[in-house]
Amino acid sequence: IEPDLETEARVRADDRAHVFHSWSAQALIDPLPVAAGEGSTFWDYQGNAYLDFSSQLVNLNLGHQHPDLVRAIQDQAGRLATIQPSMANDVRGELARRIAEVAPGDLNKVFFTNGGADANENAVRMARAVTGKRKVLSMYRSYHGNTTTAISLTGDPRRWANEPGDGSVAHFFGPYPYRSPFHSTTPEEEAQRALEHLEQVIVLEGASTIAAIILESIVGTNGVLVPPPGYLQGVRELCDRFGIVFIADEVMVGFGRVGEWFAVDRFGVTPDLITFAKGVNSGYVPLGGVVISDRIASHFDTVAFPGGLTYSGHPLACAAGVATFEVFERDGILERVRDLGTRVVEPRLREIAANHASVGDVRGAGLFWAIELVKSTETREPLVPFNAAGADAAPVAAVAAACKKAGVWPFTHFNRLHVAPPLVIAEDELRHGLDVIDRALEVADEYAV
């Protein structure tokens, strides 16, 4: 697109003067003014194109300006732009039915929310109401959202400044084969030891006090940690044994990110509640929700559910969700993600790992991968420390800058670079983006031994 520096200056000035941004020291940031987006690419006002390798915040599963989603929203706006949640609405009902049809087991009802945090908030509310218990267990190295209970569940530094939040949360270690907290040497051992640890946490915290265990089916922002075989089955078994509700947070990994409707499908596990957001409609209109098992839903057949939202099941958001299902089915999105993941991304990342002294581990599934950067592949010392900021974070910031300079917008977190492009990315774009990352990692190699 043509450069438009005048508009850029106005956008930047309004933003700097009046927009208060998430998670940031306001004076230390310089948000990129974005002029346009299409498919897997967006443009700044100087005319620079960026291949979006982070799908914005891993929500833009169908890419920018997908014509089917845009049309669905436009049509719905022309028909009925909004209607309050206690009334029945065609697209709201259709989307709930379609989600229930692809959800595992007897998860047949959907409570719609505005996003992921309030989905988790309401899932916990349901678990507490049904069990009559209060405590919730969640993992270190997790993110569940920024509202009071969701940020308390979160197992990363974003929780710290929000403490004490919900006091009825305890954290446990999940499996992380590359940096095993259990000193295990194989994935099988990691799964088994992680389950033994979780069982001990349940016993020591008191099973009679624990309403729910919540975890990301595949940990997202905190590392693309794919649970080793047997782990999620084991969590299901512990929840059954101790009368605990199993909540799978699929906000980031649901709706095709790993080549399945829900990531739990990879493991053949049925949680009691699944939370979702992001990919359900690529975030074109804010939407999230909780998919609810018959057992939990039936508790509220004659007892009122103590929660609600003005925009629960907003028609514009739901219309984009229904269109998402149509596109996924018509264009074979799940098959495409599985194919690109195994045929293109995985082998290329293994090559990249072999090329660079700074790459300790690559892991992932579908179109969701992490490249873990280290100072030494021997010691596995992270290239930048946990929670690195400012000068400490410079090596990873330099890799990100090299990617951006070459026209690829990466997702970085601590000592990792994540590969999470839109699921509609063309194969040549995907290969090009991986080539750019390969070259950019030379910058990281300078910090490695």
Distance of CA 245 to the CA centre of its chain: 21
Smallest gap, in angstroms, from Cβ of residue 153 to ligand PLP? 9
- Binding-site residue total for ligand PLP (CB under 6 A)? 16
Alpha helices in 284-365 (DSSP H): 294-299, 315-331, 333-340, 346-355
Min dist. Cβ of residue 447 to ligand PLP (A): 28
Question: With respect to ligand PLP, which residue has the nearer C-beta, 116 or 228?
Answer: 116
Residue 321 engages ligand PLP in binding (rule: CB under 6 A)? no
Span from 138-146, 159-167, 237-245, 437-445 in contact with ligand PLP (CB under 6 A): 138-146
Q: 214 with 120: CB under 8 angstroms?
A: yes
Q: Phi and psi dihedrals of 300, rounded to 5?
A: -95, 15
Stretch that binds ligand PLP, among 7-15, 34-42, 137-145, 190-198 (CB under 6 A): 137-145
User: Contact between 252 and ligand PLP (CB under 6 A)?
Assistant: yes
The sign one gets for the Cα dihedral 255, 260, 266, 270 is: positive
**d(C-alpha 215, C-alpha 432), whole Å:** 34
Q: Which of 137, 140, 153, 247 is nearest to 199 (CA)?
A: 137
* CA-wise closest residue to 31 among 21, 41, 46: 21
> Phi, psi at residue 126, to the nearest 5°?
-65, -45
Integer Cα distance of 285 and 352 in angstroms: 36
Task: Based on the shown chain and the rule CB under 6 A, indicate whether residue 277 belongs to the binding site for ligand PLP.
Answer: yes
249 binds ligand PLP (CB under 6 A): yes
- Binding ligand PLP by CB under 6 A: which of 220, 228, 259, 271? 220
Give residue number: closest CB to ligand PLP: 116
Of these, 92, 109, 133, 144, which contacts ligand PLP (CB under 6 A)?
Answer: 144
Q: How far is the CB of 445 from ligand PLP (least distance, A)?
A: 30
Please give the radius of gyration of the chain, using alpha carbons only, rounded to the nearest integer.
Answer: 22
Using CB under 6 A as the binding rule, the residues of this chain from 95 to 124 that contact ligand PLP are 115-117, 120
User: CB 116 → ligand PLP: shortest distance, Å?
Assistant: 2
Residues that bind ligand PLP (CB under 6 A): 57, 115-117, 120, 143-145, 216, 220-221, 249, 251-252, 277, 288
